[in-house]
Amino acid sequence: MNTQMIENSDRGLTLDKRLAWGILVTIAGGGFWVGVQVTELASGVETLGDRQTEDRESIADNTRAINALRSSNARIDQRLANIETSASRTEASVVEILRYLRGTNGVRP
């Protein structure tokens, strides 16, 4: 059991069968593990790309909705300004009518 696992001879470097199989299995297992990791990473990148596309579409939809709300808000603001102007004119007319009625109230033909 105390045999040398690596031997240097005239023929070159010689490995024991157990050591050689251990190295081969380790390299094959490592290659398989690296392949699985690369595949998982590629899948993750693809998923992130899909999500990014969905997010961009959602942002575009939200931007269109916000622009529609801004346009609606501008129309409402204009309507309120018109109502306020109309109420001011009506109030001025009422004041003028009251002034006229008070002025002619004491005078009878």
Alpha carbon distance 67, 61 (integer Å): 10
Tokens of 11: 């023929």
pLDDT recorded at residue 31 = 95
pLDDT recorded at residue 108 = 53
Alpha carbon distance 98, 101 (integer Å): 5
Listed as ranges, residues in the chain with pLDDT below 50 are: 109
Alpha carbon distance 3, 86 (integer Å): 109
pLDDT recorded at residue 106 = 55
Q: pTM value?
A: 0.51
pLDDT recorded at residue 43 = 94
